[in-house]
């Protein structure tokens, strides 16, 4: 399933629309408290938190995070986690 990425009004966050229920609402900052796919996203340098609810995931990162590089990597993780 293709994941759609939308930028948010917050330049440090992006919304990843998965299109299927992702659980939540839950916010994760510590990979040890998260499911494997969330821990994988949190392991990306610069990512600070992952919020799941409804059919989307919002990722917040450091202000200097390069979304052009990070967003495709995060989308791929989500596509694998929610493949139908």
In this prediction, residues 55-67 reach a mean pLDDT of: 97
Confidence of residue 4 (pLDDT cuts 50, 70, 90): very high
Tell me what percent of the residues of the chain surpass a pLDDT of 90: 93
The reported pLDDT for the residue numbered 84 is 61
Domain locations in the chain as residue ranges: 4-81
Preceding amide of 25 cis, omega within 30 = yes
The pTM is what? 0.95
Architecture of the 4-81 domain: 2-Layer Sandwich (3.30)
**Span 51-60, pLDDT tens digits:** 999 999 999 9
**Span 13-22, pLDDT tens digits:** 999 999 999 9
Q: In this structure, are residues 62 and 46 in contact, taking their beta carbons and an 8 Å threshold? A: yes
Half-sphere exposure of 82 (CA within 13 A, CB side): 22
Give which of 27, 25, 24, 7 is closest to 71, Cα–Cα: 7
């Amino acid at each position: 399933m293709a994941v759609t990425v939308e930028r948010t009004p917050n330049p440090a966050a992006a919304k990843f629309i998965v299109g299927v229920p992702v659980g939540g609402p839950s916010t994760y900052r510590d990979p040890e408290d998260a499911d494997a796919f969330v821990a994988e996203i949190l392991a990306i340098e610069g990512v600070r938190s992952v919020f799941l609810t409804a059919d989307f995931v919002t990722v917040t990162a450091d202000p200097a995070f390069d979304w052009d590089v990070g967003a495709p990597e995060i989308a791929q993780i989500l596509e694998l986690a929610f493949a139908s």
